């Protein structure tokens, strides 16, 4: 595990109520450019390790306040809605006033190049779990167990998975990088981010967002099929919608997030987070 000494922890505003030792953790950290960013997640009071599953919001409004309340944003987004299976993810907020979708994508790619993907931490947790079991099993053949562990770890790596260029010294978790084909079956893109277009964290039906999908995945068409849509011809796909829309019946971003609560990468990240907590980890 890496040290988390570079993360600056800030107290939450107190607006979302804490119940039975549960609260919203809000943390200020430095992104790969050295600028301040925020992550927020809900968990037990003692859980210092951020969840691996995450969504990235880019705050592009030039009037976004410097003291943006990520805690209130998270609480209002999830309030009254079953968005996740099990514990929720973390939300990361990057501040790029006036940025375009292309600029947000470039920043996101820079962030993932610096921190790597969440799968690196998933493999670390799995290895730690195996090592713990090996120590508890006195009858195990250590050499055989170690060989098996190394093989399993290698099987999880993909050739095109982004790797961090330098060691992650900030204790920051990696970012999502879906690798299962079902995760992009209904989107045709591997990656996404959200551009938040309003300045305030108090979520209302009028709040606007832009869903930005990128890194298109090729579609395998059946022979003779009529190709009406090829994502490879549109490297970036944008869709403007409401953050929360309870009136028109149109899909809002909250619905879009909820529809992906059982995605392969979300479930794997959630399981790894629970295992890390069991191991007593406080940072990635």
- pLDDT tens track for 131-141: 988 888 755 56
Report domain extents, the chain. 8-117+172-279
149-160: average pLDDT = 54
pLDDT > 60? residue 153:
no
Rounded Cα distance between 191 and 184, Å, is 9
- pLDDT tens track for 211-268: 999 999 887 766 666 667 778 889 999 999 999 988 888 899 999 999 999 999 999 9
Confidence of residue 166 (pLDDT cuts 50, 70, 90): low
Residues 6 or more apart whose CB falls under 8 angstroms from that of 137 comprise: none
pLDDT of amino acid 190? 93
CB atoms within 10 A of CB 274: 15
Confidence of residue 205 (pLDDT cuts 50, 70, 90): low
**Token pair for 163:** 């790797």
Mean pLDDT of the chain: 83
Asked whether 35 and 110 are in contact (CB, 8 A), the reply is no
Residues 6 or more apart whose CB falls under 8 angstroms from that of 194 comprise: 55, 56, 57, 58, 209, 210, 211, 212, 253
- Quote the pTM value: 0.83
CA distances from 129 to 124, 141, 260, 273, 284 (A): 9, 16, 27, 12, 15
Strands (E), 6-136: 8-10, 22-30, 36-44, 54-59, 90-95
pLDDT > 60? residue 78:
yes
- pLDDT tens track for 35-51: 999 999 998 888 889 99
High-pLDDT (> 90) share of the chain, % = 52
- pLDDT tens track for 1-38: 444 334 443 434 444 444 458 889 999 999 999 999 99
- pLDDT tens track for 183-201: 876 778 999 999 999 987 7
């Amino acid at each position: 595990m890496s040290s988390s000494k570079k993360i600056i922890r800030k107290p939450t505003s107190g607006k979302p109520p804490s119940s039975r030792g549960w609260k919203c953790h809000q943390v200020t950290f430095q992104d790969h450019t050295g600028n301040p960013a925020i992550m927020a997640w809900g968990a037990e009071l003692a859980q210092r390790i951020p969840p691996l599953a995450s969504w990235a919001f880019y705050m592009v409004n030039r009037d976004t306040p410097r003291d943006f309340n990520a805690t209130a944003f998270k609480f209002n987004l999830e309030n009254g809605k079953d968005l996740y299976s099990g514990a929720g993810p973390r939300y990361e907020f990057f501040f790029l006033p006036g940025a375009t979708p292309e600029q947000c994508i470039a920043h996101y790619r820079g962030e993932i190049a610096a921190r790597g993907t969440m799968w690196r931490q998933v493999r670390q947790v799995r290895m730690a779990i195996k090592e713990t079991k090996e120590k508890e099993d006195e009858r195990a053949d250590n050499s055989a167990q170690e060989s098996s562990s190394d093989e399993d770890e290698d099987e999880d790596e993909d050739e095109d998975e982004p790797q961090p260029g330098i060691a992650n010294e900030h204790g920051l978790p990696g970012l999502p990088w879906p690798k299962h084909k079902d995760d992009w079956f209904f989107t045709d893109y591997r990656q996404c981010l959200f551009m938040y277009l309003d300045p305030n964290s108090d979520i209302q039906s009028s709040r606007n967002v832009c869903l930005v999908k990128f890194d298109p995945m090729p579609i395998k068409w059946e022979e003779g099929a009529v190709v009406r849509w090829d994502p490879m011809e549109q490297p970036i796909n944008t869709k403007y919608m409401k953050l929360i829309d309870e009136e028109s019946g149109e899909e809002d971003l909250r619905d879009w997030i909820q529809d992906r609560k059982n995605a392969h990468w979300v479930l794997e990240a959630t399981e790894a987070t629970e295992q890390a907590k069991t191991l007593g980890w406080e940072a990635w």
